[in-house]
Amino acid sequence: MEVMERAVELEREGHQIAHLEIGEPDFAAPPAALEACQRALAAGDTRYTDSRGLLALREAIAADAAERFDVRVDVGRVLVTSGTSPAMLLVFSLLLDPGDEVILGGPHYPCYPNFIRFAEGVPIAIPTRAEDHYRLDPVAVRRAITSRTRAIVVSSPANPTGAVQSEKTMRALTELAQQHGLALISDEIYDGLVYDGVAATSALQLGDDAFVLDGFSKRFAMTGFRLGWLIAPEWALRPLQTLQQNLFISVNAFVQRAGIAALRDDSSRLNEMREVYRQRRQRLVDGLRELGFEVPHLPQGAFYVLAGARRFGANSRRLAFELLERAHVGVTPGSDFGEYGEGMLRFCYAVSHETIELALERLAQLLPKLEREAAAREMEPRGDRDPPDGLDGKGTA
Amino acid sequence: MEVMERAVELEREGHQIAHLEIGEPDFAAPPAALEACQRALAAGDTRYTDSRGLLALREAIAADAAERFDVRVDVGRVLVTSGTSPAMLLVFSLLLDPGDEVILGGPHYPCYPNFIRFAEGVPIAIPTRAEDHYRLDPVAVRRAITSRTRAIVVSSPANPTGAVQSEKTMRALTELAQQHGLALISDEIYDGLVYDGVAATSALQLGDDAFVLDGFSKRFAMTGFRLGWLIAPEWALRPLQTLQQNLFISVNAFVQRAGIAALRDDSSRLNEMREVYRQRRQRLVDGLRELGFEVPHLPQGAFYVLAGARRFGANSRRLAFELLERAHVGVTPGSDFGEYGEGMLRFCYAVSHETIELALERLAQLLPKLEREAAAREMEPRGDRDPPDGLDGKGTA
């Protein structure tokens, strides 16, 4: 948030920023979704809906899951939400009592621990490593289980690592959850955005007990619509509905119509987007490696590259601000993704080829200087390594 | 929720239900809002926005408050939300630690205690009475303050009572909050829906320290858009923004454009709606009084009549189901509004004159029977007074 806000300030001062910090597709929303939304508005479809979501949308979601994963999903297990964020809020609020632990891999999406703590739970992050394709190790997960563990979170494909977990891993996590009476929470918001012939295994393919989060923001490039869903175990739907009713009443009526249209649309658009993302990924990873960033493997999904950057600065937050201030390139510090993200930077390639080229050129100018400065800092007494005034405390509440 | 769900079931079976249980305007959304939303969709305005909301909308909200209340509101105090429900979630989450107490009048909007408990707080309801126009007594509020009190909630005009608190009461509550270091949370979602020349005093007119909740659902008849706002003390904005960013990312982009258009629209529409509501209120209150319900004073705001119904049954939940099953009239049990709502029923007059007439006719057929049955039950041994099977446990999670 702070990097983005500073980037906006710099833009107001007249600077052109290469934004690789925002995890938002640059594709337009599907025309069929826009048209359906406009038709619904014209028809006055602007009232509260069933708090679970329109039946037609829940049916379309169940049908879409059936088609993608060759499984049967009962429509009674579907809850429509205003994006996956409220879905997470509902799930963690339902599952967690104060002090309950939730196991997740790190580096991880920054909001998971926020939602867990918001529900008075305790996030327990297990390291995953670039060298291992950021695979979540079921043995390490099992070791982390205590009497207070309530849930395991897995995301595949993942933000910020781009990792896709294997079917074997997904199966092992499903079994661990069953054996220990835990909830498996599977964030599948990047499903479909996979490359190199990979396919992500859905928790839906392995049983009916997982909480599966998904939505329209990434695969359909519909971020600003705020529309997502949750497929939950049957027993959880009634309490989740009650929570949704109490906290949010219902999801925007005409936006739900857009969702129905998007799901019924053909999938050729996704293939085209995927090919564009694939090309950008290759160019960005090649460029970053040339510049000296560490990217041992091509990330297989989502639209992020998490790159090792220690040679340019050990403090990723400080480094991200340096790139912004001195090269006008926006990136996300790895520390935003938890302790296991420190020393890295996240680059988003949901931007044009031109933006990627511009960013790489600018970084090529600055990075040799930063590398020399980082080496010099290593020689200095410890107290001088703190970020300069005005950077570290910027904008914190 | 249960009454509504049973009503939908009965409709599926072919019955025509007179819905007086739903708190939703039957007017269309403003044409200017619909058009602005469609224009934004056509322009591809479908991305994430600033987590505080679009600057133009926050400016329009500040200007609207200035115009309605003749006050200056800094745009830096405005946060756009997906309705007042998420705004409540943010405010109570920000303010409350586990065990903190929040004082509110009863009967009250059912979700206040839910939000308070969701944030691990404790709702402390103070009774208000129909005979006193449901006035909140500042002396009683002061007596309820303890070392754990953190906030006072006031709603004016109010759901379900229709009560409008006097300027004197609003001022006394503001002073109490200041003196005791409490937050004043003022729910003003029904502002503008007032009758008989009454005007509700806004907490904005009495200082800059209150949390004022408002939105587009009621006054603009835009329920399904899910758009509201919060005007907070300056110190609270940054932590509220961080919460919003973490929990919801941002509010729907094109819906915010509809909000700007609605606020810029002229106010003649509100005058027309108000006149229609005023006539419906009179007919409904006259009819209910003729039938034997107790309505000592005309409610001065919102679009609800909370009517004493003990002569037809002491258990309002049982009574509401009786009216639904035997007369096909949907109403809300007073017990939904807390312990001080028991023995009453809420009738919403945001419905057509025809629906009101139909409901009154049907009630006229059934109520004499219910009155005789209630009198007979009073003579029976206590064990027989419980609701019959299939009513009490219906649909609970």
Give A128's DSSP letter.
Answer: -
Pairwise CB contact (< 8 Å): A397 & B42: no
Residue with tokens 């609970």: B396
**DSSP sequence for A243-273:** HHHHHHS---HHHHHHHHHHHHS-SHHHHHH
Pairwise CB contact (< 8 Å): B226 & A47: no
Give dist(CA B312, CA B331) in Å, integer: 14
CB-nearest to B224 from A37, A86, A254 is: A254
Q: Find out whether B298 and B134 touch, Cβ atoms under 8 Å.
A: no
Of A24, A18, A27, A106, the C-alpha closest to A287 is: A18
Give dist(CA B216, CA B229) in Å, integer: 9
**pLDDT above 70 coverage of chain A, percent:** 95
Band (pLDDT 50/70/90 cuts) for residue A378 is confident
Give B11's DSSP letter.
Answer: H
Chain A contact set for B24 (CB, 8 A): 47-48
Give per-residue pLDDT as tens, B162-183. 999 999 999 999 999 999 999 9
Give per-residue pLDDT as tens, B306-340. 999 999 999 999 999 999 999 999 999 999 999 99
Give dist(CA A68, CA A235) in Å, integer: 24
Give per-residue pLDDT as tens, A178-205. 999 999 999 999 999 999 999 899 999 9
Of A115, A2, A11, A59, the C-alpha closest to A264 is: A59
Band (pLDDT 50/70/90 cuts) for residue B207 is very high
User: Three-class SS of residue B71?
Assistant: coil
Residue with tokens 């990924």: A281
Question: Crossing angle for the helix pair A253-264 and A31-42, nearest 10 degrees?
Answer: 140
CB-nearest to A225 from B46, B98, B242 is: B46
Pairwise CB contact (< 8 Å): B248 & A118: no
Distance from CA of B1 to the nearest CA of A (A): 8
Name the CA dihedral angle for B269, B275, B278, B283, rounded to a multiple of 10 degrees.
Answer: -120
Q: Which two tokens stand for residue A294?
A: 């560490």
Distance from CA of B354 to the nearest CA of A (A): 20
Is pLDDT at B131 greater than 70 in this prediction? yes
Residue with tokens 């910027």: A394
Chain A contact set for B83 (CB, 8 A): 248-249
Of A267, A262, A258, the C-alpha closest to A54 is: A258
Is pLDDT at A377 greater than 90 in this prediction? no
* Cα end-to-end span (Å), chain B: 12
H/E stretch holding A361: helix A353-379
| Maximum Cα interatomic distance, chain A, rounded to a whole number of Å | 69
Query: Which residue stretches of chain B are H helix?
Result: 2-12, 31-42, 55-69, 84-95, 111-118, 138-144, 167-180, 237-248, 253-264, 268-291, 316-327, 353-379
A213 forms bridges with which residues in the sheet?
A187, A230
Pairwise CB contact (< 8 Å): A44 & B29: yes
User: Three-class SS of residue A294?
Assistant: strand
Of B138, B116, B136, the C-alpha closest to B127 is: B136
The pLDDT, as a whole number, for residue A382 is: 60
Give per-residue pLDDT as tens, B80-92. 999 999 999 999 9
Is pLDDT at B391 greater than 80 in this prediction? no
Whole-structure pTM over 0.90, yes or no? yes
User: Three-class SS of residue B211?
Assistant: strand
Pairwise CB contact (< 8 Å): A247 & B44: no
B213 forms bridges with which residues in the sheet?
B187, B230
Give per-residue pLDDT as tens, A28-81. 999 999 999 999 999 999 999 999 999 999 999 999 999 999 999 999 999 999
Chain A contact set for B238 (CB, 8 A): 395, 397
Residue with tokens 């027993």: A235
Q: Find out whether B144 and B103 touch, Cβ atoms under 8 Å.
A: yes
Give dist(CA A62, CA A271) in Å, integer: 22
Give dist(CA A167, CA A184) in Å, integer: 15
3-class SS shares of chain A: helix, strand, coil, % to 5: 50, 15, 35
Is pLDDT at A159 greater than 80 in this prediction? yes
Is pLDDT at B2 greater than 90 in this prediction? no
Pairwise CB contact (< 8 Å): B47 & A24: yes
Give per-residue pLDDT as tens, A296-338. 999 999 999 999 999 999 999 999 999 999 999 999 999 999 9
Give dist(CA A74, CA A80) in Å, integer: 14
Q: Find out whether A307 and A294 touch, Cβ atoms under 8 Å.
A: yes
Give per-residue pLDDT as tens, A231-248. 999 999 999 999 999 999
- List b or e across A342-376, with b for residues whose CB sees 16 or more CB atoms inside 10 angstroms: bbbbbbbbbbeeebbebbbebbeebbeebeeebee
Chain A contact set for B250 (CB, 8 A): 224, 226
Q: What are the C-alpha distances in Å from B320 to residues B4, B312, B316?
A: 11, 10, 6
* Cα end-to-end span (Å), chain A: 12
The pLDDT, as a whole number, for residue A393 is: 35
Pairwise CB contact (< 8 Å): A247 & B28: no
Residue with tokens 């410890």: A382
Name the closest residue on chain B to residue A90, using Cα atoms. B247
**DSSP sequence for A11-52:** HHTT---EE-S-----SPPPHHHHHHHHHHHHTT--S---TT
Q: Find out whether B359 and B320 touch, Cβ atoms under 8 Å.
A: no
Structural domains of chain A, with CATH: 2-23+269-385 (3.90.1150.10), 31-264 (3.40.640.10)
**DSSP sequence for B119-183:** TT-EEEEEE--GGGTT---HHHHHHH--TTEEEEEEESS-TTT-----HHHHHHHHHHHHHHT-E
| Maximum Cα interatomic distance, chain B, rounded to a whole number of Å | 69
Pairwise CB contact (< 8 Å): A85 & B222: no
Give dist(CA A89, CA A247) in Å, integer: 10
CB-nearest to B48 from A37, A89, A223 is: A223
Q: How many CB pairs under 8 A join A and B?
A: 138
Chain A contact set for B242 (CB, 8 A): 1, 397
B19 forms bridges with which residues in the sheet?
B330
**Strands of B344-348's sheet, edge to edge?**
B304-308, B344-348, B332-333
Pairwise CB contact (< 8 Å): B226 & A250: yes
Pairwise CB contact (< 8 Å): B28 & A38: no
Strand B149-155 relative to strand B183-187, pairing:
parallel
